[in-house]
Chains A and B, each alone.
Chain A
Amino acid sequence: MKINISFNSEWNDEFLQKIENDGPWGNWELYKLAVQMEENLIIPDFEGLQAPKHLPQLTPLPHQLEAAKQVVEKMNGKAILADEVGLGKTIEAGLILKEYMIRGLVKKVLILVPASLVTQWAFELNTKFHIPAVVQRKSYVWDSCDVVISSIDTAKRAPHRDIIFNQEYDFIIIDEAHKLKNNKTKNYEFVQNLKKKFCLLLTATPIQNKVEEIFHLVSLLKPGHLGNASLFSEKYKGKGRNIIEDEHLKELVNTVMIRNRRADTGIEWTKRHVETITIEFSPTEQALYDAVSQFKPISDGSKGSAFSALTLQREACSSREAVFYTLKNMKAKYEQPSPDFLAKLDDLFTKVNETVQNSKAEKALELIKKIDDKVIIFTEYRATQLYLQWYLQQNGISSVPFRGGFKRGKKDWMRELFQKNIQVLIATEAGGEGINLQFCHHLINFDLPWNPMRLEQRIGRIHRLGQEEDVMIYNFATKNTVEEHIMKLLYEKINLFEKVIGELDDILTKLDISNIEEYLIDVVGESKTEGEMKIKMDNFSSLIQFAQSMKEGEVHAATGNS
C-alpha cells in the first residue's frame, strides 16, 4: 500500500550551504549529546503510556491510568470521560493530553470549561502536567498560544468564534459536557462545528433525564455512532425498551465512554453522614404556605397551573422572599389582569408581609454556630440566597454568595474568600457545578432539588478526592409540605443519599422513567387528594426498591456463579 511520506528538505539545503561556506560547524560534544537525547525521546511502540515517565511528581490512581490507556489505545483519542463526581476526570484528561503531546501528535489545544473552572484548569495543567496552558483573556491569545483555556460562552461569541474556527486544533477538551445535551442550543451548534481530531467530553452525569441526551453527546463526538436522529428515536423513544436493545445501546455507548464508579475504584472514601432536619412552620409561615397552596393563577386546571402552584409551595418552604419575587413576576406578566386575579395576588402579598420569621433560617443559624467550622448552604432560589446573607450578617456571621452568573474572576475570588476568611458560602443551583470546595465538609441543603442528579452535583463539590474528613450533609425539610413528601420519597425511602449516583441511573433506566422530575411534578401536582398522592408515592418507591433488589440479586447471582 502507498503511504504518504513527509520529509523536510530544509536540513539538506542548509547543509549544502555550510559546505559552500566552510561552516560554521557544530561542536562534537553537543552533536553527540543531541543524538543521545533524541534516542532517549524515541517512542518505539504504538501502545503504552509515556506520560507517567514524564510526570514524576504525579501519582495517578490505577483507574485514571487505565482510563487514559483505554482512550489512547482503544478509543482512538475520542471519548466521553464520565467518572462519577470527584474521581479525577481532570487528571485523566491531563494524562491523555500529555500523552499525545509527548508523542508529537498534538500541538494546538482548545479547552472549554465553565468560567469558574478556567483558572483551576490552567493551574492544574501547568503545575501537575507541565503543559503551558494559557487562559484566554486577550484575543491575540487564540493565535499565539498553543494550549488555550476559555469558557464556552466567551468562545462562541464574536469575534472569538470566527478566530477559533480558523484555527487547526488537534485536541479539544470540553468540561461539564452535559450542558451540551440539547442539540438545539447555540453551544451545541458551536461545538458541533469545531474540528475535533482528538476530543474529550467530561461529565459526571452523561444522562440527566432522557436517553436522547446520551445520543446528542455521542453524536458530537462521533456522529453516526448511535445511528442518526430519526433512527435513534424510533428505536428508543416512547417504545417499551426491552433489555436486549438496552444491552445493545449500552455496549455501543461503552465503546466511546468511560465511567468509573466510586465503588469500583477501590479507594478509601471518607464517609457521608446524612441528617434530615425537620422544620416546623411558625403560624404566619403556615398561613402563607396554605394560601399559595390554594392559589390557582390560571383556573382551567391545566398542568401549567399545577406547576406554578407547586413552584410557589416549594418557594414558601424556602423563604417568603422567594415567593414574593415569583408573585411580582406573575403580576408583571399579565397586561390586563382580571380584578379577581389581582385581588388574589394582593391577598398573597399581604400574607407575605405578615410572615415575620423564617424558621429554616433560624435553624440554619443555630446549626452553623454549633458546627463552628466552614459550611456551604445550597438553595434553589436567588431571593433566598440574598435573604440568608442578610440574615446571617444580622447575626454576626459573614458569608459569601456564589452564583453561576458570576464572572470568572469573581468566582475565584469568592472561593478564595471562603477558603481563607469566611465561614459560610451560600450557593444557588447554577453555582453548584464547577467549583471544588473539598476544604469544607459541612453542607446544608436549605431546600432540595427534585432531580437527584443535581443533588449529586451539589454533594460532589465537597465529597471528592482530596476530602480528608467525613462529610456531613444536613437536609432541611418543612413538616406537612410538598417538601416533606419529596424528602420522604426520594431521599429516605430509597436511601438516595448513601447511594452512589450510578446505581440510580441504572434503576431509572430499568424502570423506563426518563424524567424523574416531571414524574414527581405529575404525582404531587396532579393528585386530587393527599391519599392519592401517598399511594402514588408508595407505588413509586416500592418500584424502585424492587428494581434495586433485582439488581442486588443479579450481583449475588454473579458472584455465586463465579
Chain B
Amino acid sequence: MQQQEIHDFLLTYFNANDCEILENTPAHLTVQLTIEMDKELMNRPFYWHYLEKTGGIPNPAKITFITNPEQAPPDLKGEMIHFGSPRLHQIIQSTKKLAGYTRLFENTTQSKGGNNPLYPWLTMNVKISYQCDRKKDTFMSIGLNLISGEIMEGFHHRVLPVKVTPKIPDYSYTLSPLIMPKSGLARLDTYIRRSFEGDDHSWAEEAILRWQNDLNLLEHFYKDMDEKSDSYYTEKEALKAQYEPNIRISIINGGLFYLSDRALG
C-alpha cells in the first residue's frame, strides 16, 4: 500500500467522522478530534471519566500524522504513519467497527413520473483464510437479490459506482423481500462454503503429512516410556495447534442495498 493511499485513507476516515482537518499537505495531516473520536482512538478513559465527573471543559486531542517523512518539515512533530504502524491498524479496526453494517438506497434520478421501484439486495464482504502452519486469504464479496434469489459475485465493486444515500429518495419505493434476511444469510453462507469446496486443497493434505511426520517422531522419542510424561501430551497438543488445517470465514462488513433494476448493469 502506497503512502499516498494511506494519506487519502486517513483523510476520508476523519472527514467521515466529522473531525476538522487543520492542516493537509502532501507530507502530513493535522486533525482536531471530536470528543467521540478522542474516546475512540486515544485510549484515555480515565481522563474522560474524570472530566465527566467534575464537569470540566473537554479538550479533545489534536494529532499530526506524517505520511511522507522526506517532504515533511524537519521540525514537525507527529506520528509516522506507514503500512505497519500500530496507529494505522487501530484506525482500520475502528473503521470496521463503525461500518460493520449499512443500509443504503440508490439515489435514482427521477423518471417515469416518479415511480421508482428499488430491489432489496443482501450483501456480505468476507475474508476466507486457509490456515495451517501457514496462511493465505481471499476476498469475496457477494450479494443476494432478496426477490429473485439471484446471487452475484464481486458485488461490492459493482455497487461502488452507484450513487447511494442513507435515506430513501423521494419518488422511490422499496419492494418487499420475498426472502427473509435470516434465510438470506443462510443462502449466502451456503454459497460461500460451496465456493471453496472445489478448490485445490493440497495445502491441507501437505499440512497433514507434516503433522503426521512430526507425530511419528514424537512417538518414537517417547517410545521407551511406559507412562507418558506431561510433556508428551503438551507436545502433541502443540502439533495439532501448529498444523491442523482450518478454513476461517470472517465477515468484514455487509448490509442491505435497495437498488433499481438498472443499477448493477
Contact = CB atoms under 8 A, between A and B. Distances in A.
A334 interface: no
Interface string B164-206: 1010000000000000011001000100010000000101110
Contacts of A168: 241
Given A34-B96, A34-B99, A11 B251 contact: yes
Given A26-B99, A32-B160, A105-B131, A19 B249 contact: no
Given A15-B181, A195-B237, A228-B220, A34 B252 contact: yes
A132 B85 CA distance: 11
A32 B129 CA distance: 21
Given A1-B205, A26-B102, A27-B98, A41 B92 contact: yes
B256 interface: yes
Contacts of B133: 76-77, 105, 198
Interface stretch (B12-20, B25-33, B43-51, B54-62): B12-20
B137 A44 contact: yes
Contacts of A14: 100-101
Cβ-closest 5 pairs across A and B: A54-B84, A224-B217, A26-B99, A224-B221, A30-B99
B39 interface: no
Contact of B127 (A19, A29, A38, A170): A38
A11 B181 contact: no
Interface string A202-223: 0000000000000000010011
B135 A43 contact: yes
B190 to A, nearest CB: 12
Given A30-B99, A76-B242, A16 B182 contact: yes
A18 B101 contact: yes
Given A4-B244, A73-B134, A105-B134, 19 more contacts: A3-B201, A3-B204, A6-B249, A15-B254, A25-B255, A26-B101, A27-B98, A27-B166, A28-B104, A28-B164, A30-B16, A55-B84, A76-B242, A130-B85, A132-B86, A195-B234, A195-B235, A224-B220, A227-B220
Given A3-B246, A196-B238, A223-B218, A30 B95 contact: yes
17 contacts: A3-B245, A5-B246, A6-B247, A8-B250, A29-B16, A30-B98, A34-B92, A34-B96, A34-B100, A34-B252, A43-B136, A46-B130, A56-B82, A103-B135, A105-B134, A222-B214, A223-B221
B253 interface: yes
B245 A15 contact: no
B111 interface: no
A100 to B, nearest CB: 9
Interface residues of B, number: 83
Contacts of A11: 100, 251, 254
A26 B257 CA distance: 12
* Interface SS majority for chain A: mixed
Contact of A15 (B12, B185, B204): B185
A31 interface: yes
A42 interface: yes
Chain A CB count within 10 A is highest, among B205, B218, B231, for B231
A45 interface: yes
A392 interface: no
A131 to B, nearest CB: 9
Interface string A177-207: 0000000000000001111111000000000
Contacts of B246: 3-6
Chain B CB count within 10 A is highest, among A16, A23, A105, for A105
Interface of A: 1, 3-8, 11-12, 14-16, 18-19, 23, 25-46, 53-57, 72-73, 76-78, 98, 102-105, 130, 132, 168, 170, 192-198, 219, 222-225, 227-230
Nearest to A132: B86
B221 A219 contact: yes
A42 B189 CA distance: 20
A12 B86 contact: no
B80 to A, nearest CB: 8
A103 B133 CA distance: 11
Given A6-B249, A31-B253, A193-B230, A45 B136 contact: yes
B224 interface: yes
Given A105-B131, A228-B221, A5 B204 contact: no
A19 B256 contact: yes
Contacts of B136: 43-46
A4 B204 CA distance: 10
Contacts of A27: 16, 98-99, 102, 166
Interface in B83-97: 83-86, 92, 95-96
Contact of A222 (B16, B217, B241): B217
A257 to B, nearest CB: 16
Given A29-B15, A30-B16, A37-B9, A42 B137 contact: yes
A26 B217 contact: no
A130 B86 contact: yes
A38 B156 CA distance: 13
B196 to A, nearest CB: 9
A195 B82 contact: no
B145 interface: no
